[in-house]
Amino acid sequence: MTQILIAEDEPRIASFVAKGLQANGFTPTIAVDAQETLSLAIGNGFDLLILDLGLPGKDGLEVLTEIRGQGANLPVIILTARDDIDDKVAGLEGGADDYMTKPFRFEELLARIKLRLRNSNLAASQEEMILKAGNVVLDLRSRKATIGDRIIDLPVREFTLAETFFRHPGQILSREQLLDRVWGYDYDPGSNIVDVYVGYLRKKLGSKLIETVRGMGYRLRR
């Protein structure tokens, strides 16, 4: 499912957009302030961000700057009441992919979302099908892992776990996040399935590639 983050503190607008997105097959998540937007937008697998500029806690343009500064490249559509040309220029130059003003028609917003996702998926198909970390290469098209000329046998769960780490280099991933993204449902909180599979990857891809962050989870070394 395509995950869309809605950064909007006005409940009526946020609910309107979320319901429209759900009706069109998307999975929306609402963030109501700047801090929540930043924590969710960076490294949490969202496919697109709809960003209001009047968020509590920090101006939306500052939020956008921080998101881009952290290397997050998800498409961003600014949706705001600010219709001044200077704000629009600042938003687009600051890293937004599109800029819409309120009031707005949902049909137009939906069309712009689909366009940005299509462009993003095209770029991903061309540039992001090969993931690298150190001397390990993951080819997402063939679902193969290689070290130099050697092919490493990774069953489905191991490959998916490796891909999750490779897509978030340097980011701490909790056991709960890994369970959700790789296994897709909740295990007993006492289960050590993540630790077991991280052990498999260390044996096959190198013991130093994935490090343990005590009390927090695991992280792929940059």
Which of the residue ranges 30-39, 65-74, 155-164 has the most confident prediction, judged by mean pLDDT? 30-39
Mean pLDDT of the chain: 87
Is 31 exposed, middle or buried, given 0-12, 13-18 or 19+ CB atoms closer than 10 A?
buried
- Is 125 a residue whose pLDDT tops 80? no
How many residues does this entry show for the chain? 222
Backbone angles phi, psi at 70, to 5 degrees: -85, 0
**More confidently predicted of 73 and 202:** 202
Verify cis geometry, omega within 30 degrees of 0, for the bond prior to 155.
no
Q: Are 151 and 204 in contact (CB under 8 A)?
A: no
* Secondary-structure class of domain 130-220 per CATH: mainly alpha
Q: What is the pLDDT of residues 7-16, one digit of tens each?
A: 999 999 999 9
Pick the CATH number of 3-126 from 3.20.20.70, 3.40.718.10, 2.40.50.140, 3.40.50.2300: 3.40.50.2300
Q: In the chain, where does the domain assigned CATH 1.10.10.10 lie?
A: 130-220
The reported pLDDT for the residue numbered 177 is 84
What is the share, in percent, of the chain residues with pLDDT greater than 70? 92
Alpha-carbon 58 to chain mean position: 21
Entry pTM: 0.56
Q: In the chain, where does the domain assigned CATH 3.40.50.2300 lie?
A: 3-126
From the list 152, 136, 154, the residue with the least C-alpha distance to 210 is: 136
From the list 11, 8, 16, the residue with the least C-alpha distance to 34 is: 8
